[in-house]
Amino acid sequence: MSTVGALLAKDLRAELRAKQSLPAMALFAIATFVVFHFGLDRARLDGDLAAGVLWVTLLLAALLGINRLFVAELEEGGFDGFLLAPVDRTAMLVAKATALFLYLAGLELVAVPAFALLLDPGLGRALPELLWLLLLADVGIAVVGTLVAALTVQGRARELLVPLLALPLLLPLLIAAARGTAPLLEAGGGSLPLRWPAVLGLYDMVFGLLSYAVFDFLLED
Amino acid sequence: MTVSATPAIELAGLTRTYGERLALDGVSLALPAGATLALLGPNGAGKSTLLRVLATLLRPHAGRVRVLGRDLPRDGWAVRGRIGLLAHDPLLYRDLTARENLRFHAQLHRVAPGRVDALLDAVGMAPRADEPVRTLSRGMVQRVAVCRAVLHDPELLLLDEPGSHLDPAAAALVEPLIGRASGRTRVVVRHDPAGALAEADLVLGLRGGRVVLTAAGGRLDPAALAALYE
Amino acid sequence: MYGKGLRGLSIATVLTLVGAFALVFFYAPTDADQGVIQKIFYVHVPMAIVALCGFVFAAAMAIQHLRTGERRYDLRAYVAIHLSLILGIGTLISGSIWAKASWGHWWVWDEPTLVSFLIVVLLYACYQPLRFAIEDPEKQARYASVFAITAGAFVPLNFLAVRLAQAYTHPRVLGTTGGSMPGSMRLTFLVSVVGMALLFATLWKYELASKHTAQQLRALRARLTGDAAAPTVRSGQPALPAESTV
């Protein structure tokens, strides 16, 4: 089994056993939709308001996953154990980002239907194009989230630094995702302007390459 | 395991700083293959730091480090798979079972899974191998950690107080794997000078990052030893 | 080492800034619509440009630090980010004043540069807290460099995304650098940019020289009174290794 495969299997096994990240993220998203309902005093959302609520909620829920991503490595000696092995160190970046991507996909499997149910944005027609946006955005969140998680896990005040670092870094992604989703959720239905997936793709590429280049420096001592 | 003529470890003026302090200050030593080095010294003397440098986890800031014939940090990748580290942290995931932990490390080191089962048997942990590490006593965890350290049959063993948490029966079980009889080159950090002398070919005393005491062949000046720890 | 050329640089800075000041008030045309307050453009935009260049420069220094492992590059990046952050905040304040004077609002979401700067400032404001959160000085320097490079790559992406987002809603409200600038404006603007850049360079050199001297002093004191006397104070500032020559 490849190094990335071994790491990923280990992480997924631990997550299934301890259920640390995914249930919390999903519950948080549902709770946030309820909060928005009461905060905005609306039973139905559409257009850019719906898009905003969806994406802000997904981002905030992602923060929970990002917070916990490297904690097991830190607290249970996973960094040392990994560094002692004769393997390519970037494998940890790929494995962790893939794990986070899978958690985000799991989150959306719960959150998007919940969103459709609770805030009735007329999701049906929009679904195929929305799935594209979710896919592209998840890659970006996974990559940037892994980088931020690695930057903050070994210091103090990790829970404070993660949102402070991640939210500004994820803003271009949020902008592209929300602006792309908004016309899909318009009352009359609209189509996805191509520039937004393009921006997401560019974002994913830039941060993907960047993370790959710098990750080694975060692991060595 | 063949014993080669080149020394297993050669250090010349190894220095490592921590901010403006010196964690290791000009440490030099040579250890032949198959020999045992005991490290003594008070807390904060730099013993764990030295161990971590030898394990390729820390890079030297000055001086020369040659482990198993390779220069560090440049050739760290070449020796990584030939070194086994047993430190204070057992390096085991608490939510996974002992077997799953060892299988994971076996995958990282490209070791056949059969060896995992053999080692668990050797340390007497086979009955509890499929329970989460979280549920094991500290002594049992230490035994599994020993398995992890020798899983990939390393030529060099770095042991930080290996006997801690082990009762005599357990200690006897792990002795063939990490003790003198295993035939591997070993660097052992200990806090009991008598025990260190008994099993070591070379004894070094560290204090403030510097080597202040050297003894070979089982002879140690009691006055110097007292001075090391005061 | 950093003190060399500092006097010449300082004089050049003062001269250029005085010259810019004179040009702004006596040479550049006064805007018909906005009046005298439009002249804040000569502060706001040069600050923005120099701040952005400063962030990119810091990223370059950070790359050098990771490549060579020499801590002096980390110190250079630290000071550059520190100064650029101050200029960034200055950009926001001057932009806000301009917006209030022109449009009656202290903040406008329609101006992409201003909005982008808000996000950039929010991000770089985390640089110091991130440093402070990591105790080991060497690790702190490395992680800070990774952050500086990430943030440096982020800045253009951010500007792109914000600009694209605004393109639909409103046209550019505060006409900043337009292609059609009358000659007198262009000259004044250029001199202002040069002056701001010189100011940045002078302050950068100044701060580096000051930190370097302080560190040498500390090292001397430690050597005279013995290692034990040097307290390891937890700090977010880069500490140079004991024997560095910067």
CATH number at residue C195: 1.20.120
The 10 Å CB-count burial string (b at 16+, else e) for B105-121 is bbbbbebeeebbeebbe
DSSP string, B92-119: --TTSBHHHHHHHHHHHTT--HHHHHHH
Closest partner residue to B77 among A1, A14, A86, by Cβ? A86
- What local confidence, expressed as pLDDT, does residue C51 receive? 95
- CB within 8 Å: B21 and C232: yes
- What residue type is assigned to position B71 of the chain? D
The Cα B149–Cα B186 span in angstroms is 12
% residues pLDDT > 70 (chain C): 84
Q: Reply yes or no on whether the pLDDT at A99 is more than 90.
A: yes
- CB within 8 Å: A80 and B58: no
The answer as to whether C218 is a domain residue is: no
Closest partner residue to C126 among A161, A171, A175, by Cβ? A161
| Conformation bin of residue B83: beta by default, left when phi > 0, alpha when psi is -120 to 50 | beta
Pairs of CB atoms within 8 A across A/B: 67
Q: List residues of B whose CB lies inside 8 A of any A CB.
A: 52, 55-59, 77, 80-81, 83, 85, 87, 89-96, 100, 104-105, 107-109, 132, 148
Cα dihedral sign, C195-C201-C203-C209: negative
Pairs of CB atoms within 8 A across A/C: 88
Closest partner residue to C130 among A147, A151, A214, by Cβ? A151
The string of pLDDT tens digits covering residues A26-39 is 999 999 999 999 99
Q: Reply yes or no on whether the pLDDT at C91 is more than 90.
A: yes
- As a whole number, mean pLDDT of residues C76-90 equals 96
Predicted TM-score (pTM) of this structure: 0.90
Place of tokens 């991130």: C130
By C-alpha distance, the chain A residue nearest B148 is A81
3-state secondary structure of A87: coil
Is C149 in contact with C50 (CB distance < 8 Å)? no
Q: At what angle do helices A127-152 and A195-219 cross, to 10 degrees?
A: 20
Higher pLDDT among residues A178 and A47, named by residue: A178
Q: Reply yes or no on whether the pLDDT at C243 is more than 50.
A: no
Top residue of A79, A89, A158, A171 to mutate, by most chain C CBs within 10 Å, is A171
Q: Reply yes or no on whether the pLDDT at C245 is more than 50.
A: no
The Cα C144–Cα C147 span in angstroms is 5
- CB within 8 Å: B20 and C230: yes
- CB within 8 Å: C239 and B21: no
Closest partner residue to B17 among C218, C222, C242, by Cβ? C242
Domain count, chain C: 1
The answer as to whether C40 is a domain residue is: yes
The string of pLDDT tens digits covering residues C143-180 is 999 999 999 999 999 988 888 887 655 445 444 444 46
Confidence band of C246 (pLDDT split at 50, 70, 90): very low
- Each of the 230 residues of chain B gets a pLDDT tens digit; together they read 455 568 889 999 999 988 778 889 889 999 999 999 999 888 888 899 999 999 999 989 889 999 999 998 888 888 999 999 999 999 999 999 999 999 999 999 999 999 999 999 999 999 999 999 999 999 999 999 999 999 999 999 999 999 889 999 999 999 999 988 888 999 999 888 788 878 888 888 888 888 888 887 667 777 777 777 77
The string of pLDDT tens digits covering residues C195-239 is 999 999 999 999 999 988 888 888 888 788 765 545 556 677 776
- CB within 8 Å: A17 and B92: no
Determine the distance in angstroms separating the CA of B81 from the nearest CA of chain A, rounded to an integer.
5
What average pLDDT does chain C have? 83
Q: Please tell me whether the peptide bond between B73 and the residue prior to it is cis, using omega within 30 degrees of 0.
A: yes
- Asked if C136 is an interface residue toward chain B (Cβ–Cβ < 8 A), one would say yes
% residues pLDDT > 90 (chain C): 41
Is A101 in contact with A138 (CB distance < 8 Å)? yes
Judge if ipTM > 0.95. no
- As a whole number, mean pLDDT of residues A119-144 equals 90
Phi, psi values for residue B27, rounded to 5°: -80, 130
Q: Reply yes or no on whether the pLDDT at A9 is more than 80.
A: yes
The string of pLDDT tens digits covering residues C21-59 is 888 877 777 776 667 777 788 889 899 999 999 999 999
- Asked if B64 is an interface residue toward chain C (Cβ–Cβ < 8 A), one would say no
Residue span of the structural domain in which C136 resides: 6-208
- CB within 8 Å: B21 and C219: no
Q: Reply yes or no on whether the pLDDT at C181 is more than 70.
A: no
- CB within 8 Å: B21 and C227: yes
CB < 8 Å to C145, chain A: 217
